[in-house]
Amino acid sequence: MSESLTREGITPGKIIYDLNNQLEAKNAVCDKLNRYLNQAHEIMLDREHQISELQSRIEALKSENAILKEQVAQGEKKSWQLQELCEMLQGKRSEKFIPKREKVDTAIQQTLGHDFDLTELEEIIKVASTKSGVQQVDDQIRKETAKRKNISLIKVEEYNHLAYK
C-alpha cells in the first residue's frame, strides 16, 4: 500500500503535515470561539450586576414612594383636621365628631381627636392668636383714621359756624 501511495505522490510526511495544518486551523477556530465565549460570559456577568443594582434601586424607590405616600396621607389628614379646627373656632358645627342624638344621653365636648389634643393644638392656637394680633393692629389703624376724619369734620363745622356769624 505504501507503494501505491508513493506513486500518487502522497507520502506519510505529507499526510502528517496536512493533518497538522487542519489541527492548527481547528485550534485557531476553537481559540477564537473560546474568546467569544469569555466575552459573552463577561457581558452576561456585567448585565447581571446591572440588573441587581437596578433591582436594589427599584426597591429603594418603592420604599421611598411608600414613605412619601404615608406622609401625603398624614398631610391630608392634618389638613382636614385643621379645616375642622378652623370651622370649630369660627363657630360652625362639626357633624363628623358629634354622634346622633338618640345615641347620646349626655353633652359631648367637641374634639378633633387625639392628634390635636396634644401640643400641636397649642401651636395652632399660637398661630391663630398671632393672626388676631394682626387684626388688632388693623383695628387700631382704622380707629386712628376714623379719629382723623372726625377731627377734620369738626374743623369744617367750626369753620362753617364762624363763617355764618
Q: Cα(126)–Cα(85) distance, rounded to whole angstroms?
A: 13
Task: Say if residues 110 and 125 touch (Cβ distance below 8 Å).
Answer: no
DSSP structure class, residue 9: T
**Read out DSSP for 78-134?**
HHHHHHHHHHHHTT---GGG---GGG-SS-------GGGGSHHHHHHHHHHHHHHHH
Task: Read off the amino acid at residue 4.
Answer: S
In angstroms and rounded to an integer, the radius of gyration of the C-alpha atoms of the chain is 48
Condensed to tens digits (0 to 9), the pLDDT of residues 114-144 reads 555 555 556 666 666 665 555 665 666 667 6
Q: Cα(86)–Cα(121) distance, rounded to whole angstroms?
A: 11
How does pLDDT run along the chain (165 residues), one tens digit per residue? 556 656 666 788 888 999 999 999 999 999 999 999 999 999 999 999 999 999 999 999 999 999 999 999 999 989 888 888 887 777 655 555 555 666 656 655 556 555 555 555 566 666 666 655 556 656 666 676 666 666 666 665 666 656 555
pTM of the model: 0.37
